[in-house]
Amino acid sequence: MERATFAGGCFWCMVKPFDQYEGVERVVSGYTGGDVPNPTYEDVCTNTTGHREAVQLTFDPSIISYETLVSIFWRQIDPTDAGGQFGDRGQSYETAIFYHTEEQRLIAEASKKALAASGTFDAPIATDILPAKPFYEAETHHQDYYKKHPLHYTRYAIGSGRVPFQRATWGDTNDE
């Protein structure tokens, strides 16, 4: 098993897209990228801890490749938005790929370069590619939010602008 860590704005919207794939054994919402140990949601929301909301996946690379996971990630976000994602603004909602190995870094960098060259976006790709730092699991009520609160999750994903952006950019949401 390997780990992959992605910050794509609100972590509620980043679990379901990965959770549906064979080979993804676990998707956990949490906080990473900062220097404050054991942050809480309230701490991270102050935008003073350096942490971003993120998901950490445990996956079987013999079933699903890291390249595939990175491709799924790109379809969940607006990679040109450096100030957060959709309705969520601030450092804690900025996007990033946190790599755990040199191979992951190379794959992420190549994927970012290919996305920039694809012509899909007019603006530069703002998503950071950073070395993985300690990952802190979010509080229990944030885990598997889409399963626990499906109506609120759907309203949020649409109302925040995420789903309309995905449909306009990709023709689907990869989340249905």
| Percentage with pLDDT > 90 across the chain | 97
24 within a domain of the structure (yes/no): yes
Residue range 53-72: average pLDDT?
98
Per-residue pLDDT tens digits for 112-162: 999 999 999 999 999 999 999 999 999 999 999 999 999 999 999 999 999
Residues of the domain holding 93: 2-170
91 within a domain of the structure (yes/no): yes
176 within a domain of the structure (yes/no): no
Higher pLDDT residue, 171 or 56? Answer: 56
- pLDDT score of 174: 57
Tell me, what CATH number does 51's domain have?
Answer: 3.30.1060.10
Contact predicate 125/30, CB 8 Å = no
How many domains is the chain partitioned into structurally?
Answer: 1
Of 10, 15, 57, 107, the catalytic one is: 10
21 within a domain of the structure (yes/no): yes
175 within a domain of the structure (yes/no): no
Instruction: Specify whether 10 is catalytic.
Output: yes
62 within a domain of the structure (yes/no): yes
94 within a domain of the structure (yes/no): yes
In the chain, which ranges are E strands?
2-7, 24-32, 52-59, 84-85, 88-89, 96-99, 128-131, 136-137
